[in-house]
Amino acid sequence: MKLKLSALMALFLPIFAFAEDKLDTGDTAWMMMSTALVLLMTPAGLALFYGGMTRSKNVLNTYAMVMGAFVLAIVVWVIAGYSIAFGTNESASLQSFFGGFGNVMLDGITWKDLSGSYPTYVFVAFQGTFAAITVAIASGSVIGRMKFSTWMVIVALWGLVVYAPITHMVWGGDGALLFDAGALDFAGGTVVHMNGGLAGLVLAILVGKRAGYPKQAMKPYSILLTAAGAALLWFGWYGFNAGSAFGANAVAGVALLTTTIATAAAGLTWMFIEWFIFKKPTLLGIASGIVAGLVAITPAAGFVSVGGAFIVGIGGSVIGFFGVVVLKKIFKYDDSLDAFGIHFLAGLWGALMTGVLALNDKDLLWDGPLKESGDRMGQFMVQLQSVGVVALWTLIGTVVVYYIASAVTGGARVDTETEEIGLDETLHGEKVTNI
C-alpha cells in the first residue's frame, strides 16, 4: 500500500498547502536538520541529563539504557512502528486506534515520495527520533534495579503496543480518534512526554523501589553532566518543536520563540522557588526547570502567544517542582530520576493549557472546536479527553508489556548482590572513572 502524506501535512498546516507535493529545498534542509537536532537530544542530551543524576556505580548502565533504547526503537519504528502510526487501516473502526500494516519495512514508500514539501523518507526519520526519545524517557524511572535484557524487550514491545497507536490516535490524520476530535498537540506533549513519563512511573511501581530508598542517601554522580545534558536538550529541542512546523516557515518561527521564552521562564521559576524554600538556588534545580519548561511548551509551541509561552513555562516549572519535591514524598513511589514528575506532569499542564491559551487564529490552528467555531471550552474538553485517552492507553499497555518482558527474561529485577555492587560492573563489565 502506498502511503501519501501530503493530505495529512495540508491538514496540519493549511496556510502552507501551496507547497503540497512540490519539493522545497529549504523545507527539506530544515527537516533534515531538525531530525539531526532531535537525534542529538537522546544519546547525548537525555543520556547526560540522566547519567549525571544517578549514582556512580550505575552511570554507564544509565547511559546504556538510554542509548540502547534509542537504537532499538529506531529499528522497531522502521520495521512496523511507522506503519502502525501513519498507515491506513482498511477497517474504519480500527482506523481510530491503529494504522495499517501496508508500510511494514516502509513497503510502498519510495525515495521520490513527498510529505508535503519534503521527502517522506525524511518524515519517517524525523518521527522515528520522536519514537526513540519517548521510550528512553521512561528509563529514568527504573534506573539502578532493572535488568538490561528486560529493558530491551520492553523497548521493542512498547514501541509497537503503546507508542505507535498513541501517535496514530493523535497525529494519524482523518479517521484517527483524537485527530478527528480536534486535539491540539503541536510537537508531542501527549504523544511523547505524558506517554513516556507515565510509562516510567508504571514501570517503577511494578519493578519496586531501589534497595535503601528513601532512607539511604543516593547522591548524583555529576550535576555538571546533568546541566550539560539539559543544555544539549534545549539546543536539540528546537528541532523537536520548530521542526514540527514541517518546514522552514512562519509557524516554525513561532515555535522557536515560544520554546525559548517558556524554557527560560521555567528555569528561573524553579531557581527562585528553591531559593525561597531552601534558601539556596541549585544548578540541578535550574537544569530541572529548563527541562520542565521544554516539556510544557511542546504541545503549545506553535499555537500560543508570547504571553502564553510565559504562562506555560512558569506553570510547567511549578507543577514539575511539586511533582518532584512534594508528590513523590506523599505517595512514596521511587521514580529514580523523576521522569513522571517532570515529563508527565509538565506535559499534562502544557496539553491542557494549549486549549486555554491557543490563539484563535485560523492560520495557526488545526481543525478543532476552537478553529471551527471559536469554542474554547469545547477545545479544552477535547484536550482533557486526549490526555485521558493517552493516560489510559499508556497505563494498560505498559503493564501488559512489563509482564510479557518479565516473563521472557525470567524476572525484571536484578538480584540483591548485583544492585549492591552496581549495574555498570555486573551487567556491562565496565566501570566509570571520575571526570
How far is C-alpha 335 from the chain's CA centre?
Answer: 17
pLDDT in tens, 231-283: 999 999 999 999 999 999 999 999 999 999 999 999 999 999 999 999 999 99
What's the confidence (pLDDT) of residue 336? 94
Give pLDDT, residue 8.
46
The span from the CA of 308 to the CA of 324, in Å, is 24
Q: What is the mean pLDDT of residues 15-25?
A: 63
User: What is the structure's pLDDT at 39?
Assistant: 97
| Average pLDDT of every residue of the chain | 93
All cell numbers assigned to 369: 472546536
Other beta carbons less than 10 A from residue 260's beta carbon? 19
pTM of this prediction? 0.93
State whether residue 118 is helix, strand or coil: strand
Query: What is the topology classification, in CATH, of domain 6-428?
Result: Ammonium transporter fold (1.10.3430)
Q: Is 390 helix (H, G, I), strand (E, B) or coil?
A: helix
Distances in Å between the Cα of 282 and the Cα atoms of 38, 55, 218, 271, 419 are 27, 18, 17, 7, 29
Average pLDDT over every residue of 130-156: 98
CA distance 214 to 223: 20
> What is the torsional sign of CA 410, 405, 203, 42?
positive
| Angle subtended at Cα 340 by Cα 431 and Cα 422, rounded to the nearest 5 degrees | 20
Task: pLDDT band for 433, please (50, 70, 90 cuts).
Answer: confident
Burial of 266 (0-12, 13-18, 19+ CB in 10 A): buried
